[in-house]
Amino acid sequence: MSTKSPLSDRSGWASGGAISELMAQAIANPDCLSLAAGFVDPATLPVDLVKQAAAEVLAAPDARDLLQYGTPAGAGRLRAAVLELFAMLEGVPTEELAETRGLTAGRVLLTNGSQQFLSLVCQALLNPGDVCLVAGPTYFVMLGTIAGVGGRAVRVETDDDGMTPAGLEAALDHFQTVGELPRVKLLYLVPDFENPSGVVLADRRRSELLDILDRRDPDGRIRVLEDAAYRELGFDGTIGASLWGRDRSDRVIYSGTFSKSFSPGLRIGFGLAPVELMQPLIDRKGNEDFGSAHFNQHLLARVLESDRYEAHVADVRRSYRRKRDALLAGLSEHLGDLPGVSWREPAGGLYVWANLPEGVSTGFDSPLAEAAQRDGVMYVPGELCYAPESVDPASGESRPRPTNHMRLSYGVLDVGLLREAAARLGRAVRSVL
Ligand code: PMP
């Protein structure tokens, strides 16, 4: 009998291990309060808006077309509506975007959530062994996506203002010294209210990071993948200036989603890519699914064409702000007196990043994880959010992943349960300190 695996090499690279572990924990312990899931608030899901939009699009003369196949790049109507929304976020009229940046609806690719867009970009740009630089910590699912195409995620020094310019320089120096600079293909950033850290990449840094790339990679070979999943979810309604808007080298690929601002169940995300990447991305998308759900695209287009979307997003922001406040109040009450325990107050998005004293592990097999399970609360171990490899700016060496952090999400639970979850977390943490 042959011992050779029937699976492709690629099957071995992909790993959904972390998510499976969290799901298994949740199923084994149904009374558990989850601060782990990055799901959106069920109370804000727009049932009435969707009912209304569905009735309207089905009453239109072209209703049958919506139940037909669409095209891989997506419905023209939604691509145009997405472009309008993007122009509004950028504060630049669509005509000007077309004139100055050549951005038209033809450069909008609609995908099944932004996760698919991130995956298509990794497939299109990374050969096995190629490097994607990431913040530390970063969106842990993306680490799996990079690994899934055989890529190497390498973490760059990051602080309260996001990835540091010195860290990026150090990473580029390192790969230059070891003769692997050509392998660095991608820099992945989540500039607004990052998952998992809640950090906003400081305005000055957005320019500085692009300046460094322009100086060291003037041909724009190293692409920047800007994941703007939480851009509209700033609690004071301020919309950050994108990396895309400052790009002078056509290197920034912009990824957006309607999952956080509207409904993840519709599975609609989008990407804006440089011209020469559009066709390769569309071709891959076609191979995967012929195009995202056509009906959902028209439904969302209808919502975007009305003034209902903006009003809904304003409600969502208010709801998350209330929930953030409830979780922070609970953390202060139940963990506030513990030395070495701290957390960052996010100004938007869905996540609080908490720090425990050095030497206390939050990992799946740690005493804390066991205590949390016993006390009925779940969190995402921070370790999952760090790429295994890093470049330390001082030494140029790779450092082990920090193990004393956790991601807490206030997305799913209501205000009362968030307080209770904080109390349970407080009990669990106290029991291991
Ligand atoms: N990027 C980030 C930073 C996220 O947190 C998520 C969802 N958790 C996604 C992308 C993907 O979401 P979706 O596919 O629903 O757009």
Q: Tell me what percent of the residues of the chain surpass a pLDDT of 70.
A: 99
Band of residue 268 on the pLDDT scale cut at 50, 70, 90: very high
Q: Report the atom number in ligand 1 closest to the C-alpha of 139.
A: 3
Report whether residue 164 contacts ligand 1, using a CB cutoff of 6 Å. Answer: no
Please tell me the pTM assigned to this model. Answer: 0.96
Band of residue 1 on the pLDDT scale cut at 50, 70, 90: very low
**What is the predicted pLDDT for the residue at 16?**
65
Report whether residue 145 contacts ligand 1, using a CB cutoff of 6 Å. Answer: no
Q: What distance in Å separates the CA atoms of residue 356 and residue 335, rounded to the nearest whole number?
A: 10
Q: What distance in Å separates the CA atoms of residue 172 and residue 107, rounded to the nearest whole number?
A: 30
Band of residue 5 on the pLDDT scale cut at 50, 70, 90: confident
Residue nearest to ligand 1 atom 5, measured at CA: 195
Report whether residue 191 contacts ligand 1, using a CB cutoff of 6 Å. Answer: no
Between the CA of 38 and the centroid of ligand 1 the distance, in Å, is 9
Between the CA of 185 and the centroid of ligand 1 the distance, in Å, is 21
Report whether residue 113 contacts ligand 1, using a CB cutoff of 6 Å. Answer: yes
Between the CA of 67 and the centroid of ligand 1 the distance, in Å, is 26
Residue nearest to ligand 1 atom 11, measured at CA: 115
ipTM, two decimals: 0.99
Between the CA of 294 and the centroid of ligand 1 the distance, in Å, is 21
Q: Report the atom number in ligand 1 closest to the C-alpha of 227.
A: 1
Q: Report the atom number in ligand 1 closest to the C-alpha of 264.
A: 15
Q: Tell me what percent of the residues of the chain surpass a pLDDT of 90.
A: 88
With 80 as the cut, is the pLDDT of residue 94 above it? yes
CA 146 to chain centre: 13
Between the CA of 195 and the centroid of ligand 1 the distance, in Å, is 9
Between the CA of 360 and the centroid of ligand 1 the distance, in Å, is 29
Band of residue 11 on the pLDDT scale cut at 50, 70, 90: confident
List of domains in the chain:
17-45+311-432 (3.90.1150.10), 48-307 (3.40.640.10)
Q: Which residues make beta-bridge pairs with 156?
A: 135, 391
Q: In the numeric block, which tokens belong to residue 156? A: 């760059």
What single DSSP character describes residue 344? -
Residue nearest to ligand 1 atom 4, measured at CA: 229
**What is the predicted pLDDT for the residue at 30?**
80
For residues 307-333, average pLDDT = 96
Q: Report the atom number in ligand 1 closest to the C-alpha of 38.
A: 8
For residues 245-258, average pLDDT = 97
With 80 as the cut, is the pLDDT of residue 21 above it? no
CB contact at 8 A, 181 and 158: no
Q: In the numeric block, which tokens belong to residue 251? A: 């290197």
Report whether residue 158 contacts ligand 1, using a CB cutoff of 6 Å. Answer: no
**E-strand stretches of 55-212:** 108-111, 131-135, 152-156, 158-159, 162-163, 184-189
By C-alpha distance, which of 159, 223, 216 is closest to 188? 223
For residues 56-73, average pLDDT = 95
375-423 residue pLDDT tens:
999 999 999 999 999 998 888 888 999 999 999 999 999 999 999 999 9
With 80 as the cut, is the pLDDT of residue 4 above it? no
Between the CA of 228 and the centroid of ligand 1 the distance, in Å, is 9
Q: What distance in Å separates the CA atoms of residue 310 and residue 346, rounded to the nearest whole number?
A: 22
For residues 176-202, average pLDDT = 97
Give me the residue label for tokens 């807490």: 408
**What is the predicted pLDDT for the residue at 406?**
98
3-class state of residue 331 by DSSP: helix
202-217 residue pLDDT tens:
999 999 999 999 999 9
Report whether residue 292 contacts ligand 1, using a CB cutoff of 6 Å. Answer: no
Alpha-carbon dihedral of residues 56, 60, 63, 65, nearest 10 degrees?
-120
Q: What distance in Å separates the CA atoms of residue 50 and residue 352, rounded to the nearest whole number?
A: 30
Mean of the per-residue pLDDT values of the chain: 95
Between the CA of 114 and the centroid of ligand 1 the distance, in Å, is 6
What is the torsional sign of CA 43, 45, 50, 51?
Answer: negative
Band of residue 370 on the pLDDT scale cut at 50, 70, 90: very high
**What is the predicted pLDDT for the residue at 262?**
97
Q: Report the atom number in ligand 1 closest to the C-alpha of 117.
A: 14
Between the CA of 355 and the centroid of ligand 1 the distance, in Å, is 23
Between the CA of 64 and the centroid of ligand 1 the distance, in Å, is 31
Report whether residue 144 contacts ligand 1, using a CB cutoff of 6 Å. Answer: no
328-355 residue pLDDT tens:
999 999 999 999 999 999 999 999 999 9
Between the CA of 264 and the centroid of ligand 1 the distance, in Å, is 9
3-class state of residue 353 by DSSP: strand
Report whether residue 351 contacts ligand 1, using a CB cutoff of 6 Å. Answer: no
Band of residue 3 on the pLDDT scale cut at 50, 70, 90: low
